[in-house]
Amino acid sequence: MPDDFWNTAHEDREKIELDEWWERPFIVTQGYDEESYEEFCARMESNVDETEDEYNERVAKQKKSWHSHWPTGIRYDVYILDGGAWDRPTAKGKVGSLEEALEIGKKLN
């Protein structure tokens, strides 16, 4: 994807980008990313207000919730660059299988 694809006003996009992406549905996959407590602390710098045990408990709940919604561990996000948002692609659906995502994309064509 072009640089700044997710945060560029459409009138500022190059013609080639619009020719390649405008009104063409696409799928982005999202997995559940795990982060250790140490990585979390490093990323948050000094803004950590939970112990390692509290963090691990929270993360375990989040992971369980993620997998209850996306049993394969992957979420398929369907987008289209269509002007629904002024500076980014429009989200059209978040589903648990590639087949469902493809069906959404077919309906957008």
pLDDT at 50: 94
Query: Per-block average pLDDT, block size 10, for the chain (109 residues)?
Result: 93 95 97 93 90 96 94 96 96 96 95
DSSP secondary structure string for all residues of 16-35: HHHHHHBT--EEEEEE----
User: In the 8-state DSSP scheme, what is residue 108?
Assistant: H
pTM: 0.83
CA neighbor of 27 nearest in space, from 85, 102, 86:
102
pLDDT at 1: 86
- Cβ neighbour number for residue 80 with a 10 Å cutoff: 20
Number of helices (H), then strands (E), in the chain: 4, 3
pLDDT at 82: 96
